[in-house]
Amino acid sequence: MAEEAERALDAFERRAAARDARLEGLVRLTVSEAFSGFIVRRMSELQAKHPGLIVEILSGNRSFDLTRHEADLALRIAATTQADLVCKRIGDAGWSMYASESYVARQGMPSSSTDLAGHQIIAFDETLAAVPGARWLEEYGAGANVVLRGNSIVSVLNATIVGMGLSIIPCFLADPEPTLRRLTPQVLGSREIWLVFHPDVARIPRVRCVIDFVTAIITRDAAILRGEIAVQLSVV
């Protein structure tokens, strides 16, 4: 009964907030640690248009409960099964193989993206076993030496940047890094990007503004996210 009362109160508050037509105030957006940089670096565009709007970025791998109003909307790489939430697929994130220039100078290039024998690799721990990078290294990493495992994509990225080994990383994270070399033009895996929110919250003008902005920038920069932007490649 207490939970039902709490849900009813949350619904009342969401509907009451929808009457506020001002494009100002707080909107809480939860994103993964890996994706937070991509979003934050584009937030100045939204701030310039709506200076009274404050977006609170809740970054990390915790799944916030949108039905309990822990956040207003979420960017996720897995679709939600909750019937009372809107789950909108807005893009895809491609992954490819990267190593630092210092690693390539020291260890050379792999003979192919499917033969990593003799190379040092940065792997993922069991909590990230389902990501494309982990699956690729599991399938093609026979004979390679795992020098580090990370429980976050950012930690794997940083270990690759400093030359500890090669890894499979999201292209939107690795392509802008000046010291990293993409070792194959192929996109070796991808994950879907989902925008999740409660339909009542979407009626609040300031939240709808952020929903539209996030959708627009991911659509605009879709080629960057998919790993299709032309880059200088050292093709295996």
Tell me what pLDDT residue 234 has: 38
Q: Provide the pLDDT for residue 232.
A: 40
Give pLDDT < 70 ranges for the chain: 1-21, 229-236
pTM, 2 dp: 0.85
Q: What is the pLDDT of residue 21?
A: 64
Q: Domain 2-91+191-226: give its CATH architecture.
A: 3-Layer(aba) Sandwich (3.40)
How far out from the chain centre does Cα 100 lie?
22
Segments of the chain assigned to CATH 3.40.190.10 = 2-91+191-226, 92-190
3-state SS of the chain: helix, strand, coil percent to 5? Answer: 40, 25, 35
Cα-based distances in Å from 62 to 41, 65, 116, 154? 22, 9, 33, 15
Residue range 92-190, CATH number: 3.40.190.10
Cα 191 to its chain centre, rounded Å, is 9
What pLDDT was estimated at residue 46? 95
- Can you tell me which residue has the tokens 């039902």? 4
Instruction: Tell me the pLDDT tens digit for each residue of 59-86.
Output: 987 788 888 889 999 999 887 777 789 9
pLDDT single digits (tens) 115-130: 999 999 999 999 999 9
